[in-house]
Amino acid sequence: MKFRLAILALASISAWTFSAEPVASKTEAKDTMVLFDGKSLNDWEKVDIGGSGEVSLEEGELIIAQGESVSGAVYKKVKELPLQNYEISLEAMRVEGADFFCGLTFPVGDLKTCLTLVLGGWGGAVTGISSIDDMDASENNTSSFQRFADNTWYKVRLQVTPKELHVWIDGKEVVNTDIEGKKLGVRPGPIESYLPLSLTTFQTRAAYKNIKLTKIAPTK
């Protein structure tokens, strides 16, 4: 009898604990924008600069087909975007190709001042931010070499504040850099057509899902 009462008590505690979770989720939802819901591409627009791969919805994933050069799509709800103190999270996968499979262009401070997070550039391994003080992701202090396998999902999280940028891949921090007082801008070339928020690839087919933007508290 005592054993049964103990089990019932534990069950009650567990039920109370789990019932508290939706409250936290609702609080978080107030500050989170779902940028891609897996159901439509209504909020995204392909940029056709000649030789661009198609952008499509397949089985709940945003797909960028391999093109001759840069291919991708721009997020259309520009007026809703925060420009500082936010995080973008997503899952990205390289399906085929040998160059960057996730070029995430994002605003910093205003819609015309943007940077690009590059995953797997310059032959498949270079990861970093383009461009800071006119140096792209292969040249500045955000540059690193990461191994990316085909047909493997990678969880990406980018944090933007007025002073710093942080990037995590599968929970590992790969970028931690000061941007205060630095010259910021995308690399000159095709990527200039993808401001202020977009996903791009270079001669590579890629898939994306669970794309969200969350506002964060200003840093002191």
| 81-90 confidence digits (pLDDT tens) | 999 999 999 9
CATH of the domain at 108: 2.60.120.560
pLDDT digit string, tens, across residues 166-185:
999 999 999 999 999 999 99
> Both 45 and 122 in a single domain?
yes
Q: Which residue's entry shows tokens 């630095």?
A: 182
| Domain with 23 in it | 1-30
Q: Are residues 59 and 26 in the same domain?
A: no
Residue 115 lies in a domain: yes
139 φ/ψ sector (left φ>0, alpha ψ -120 to 50, else beta) = alpha
Query: Is residue 70 scored above 60 in pLDDT?
Result: yes
Task: Give pTM, 2 decimals.
Answer: 0.86
**pLDDT for res 101:** 98
Q: Do residues 100 and 69 touch, judged by C-beta distance below 8 A?
A: no
Q: Flag whether 220 is in a domain.
A: no
Say if residue 26's pLDDT is above 50: no
Do 109 and 7 lie in one domain? The reply is no
Are residues 45 and 26 both part of a single domain? no
The answer to whether the bond into 131 is cis (omega within 30° of 0) is yes
Question: For residue range 44-64, what is the model confidence (pLDDT) as tens digits?
Answer: 999 988 899 999 999 999 999
* Model pLDDT, residue 29: 57
Query: Angle 21-29/2-19 helices, nearest 10 degrees?
Result: 10
Q: Is residue 165 part of a domain?
A: yes
The dihedrals phi and psi of 194, each to the nearest 5 degrees, come to -115, 20
Q: Do 85 and 17 lie in a common domain?
A: no
Give the chain as a DSSP string.
-HHHHHHHHHHHHHHHHHHTHHHHHHHHHTTEEEEE-SS--TTEEE--SSSPPPEEEETTEEEE---SSEEEEEES-GGG--SSSEEEEEEEEEEEESS-SEEEEEEEEETTEEEEEEEEHHHHTEEEEE-BTTB-TTTSTT-EE----TT--EEEEEEE-SSEEEEEETTEEEEEEE-TT--B-PPSSGGGGG-SSEEEEESEEEEEEEEEEEE-PPP-
The pLDDT value given to residue 72: 98
* Each residue's pLDDT tens digit, 92-145: 999 999 999 999 999 999 999 999 999 999 998 999 999 999 999 999 999 999
Question: In this structure, are 129 and 182 located in the same domain?
Answer: yes
| Domains of the chain: total | 2
- 60 part of a folded domain: yes
Same-domain check for residues 130 and 44: yes
Domain-embedded: residue 167: yes
Q: Which carries the bigger pLDDT value, residue 188 or residue 24?
A: 188
> From its phi and psi, is residue 193 left (phi > 0), alpha (psi between -120 and 50) or beta?
alpha
* pLDDT for residue 4: 41
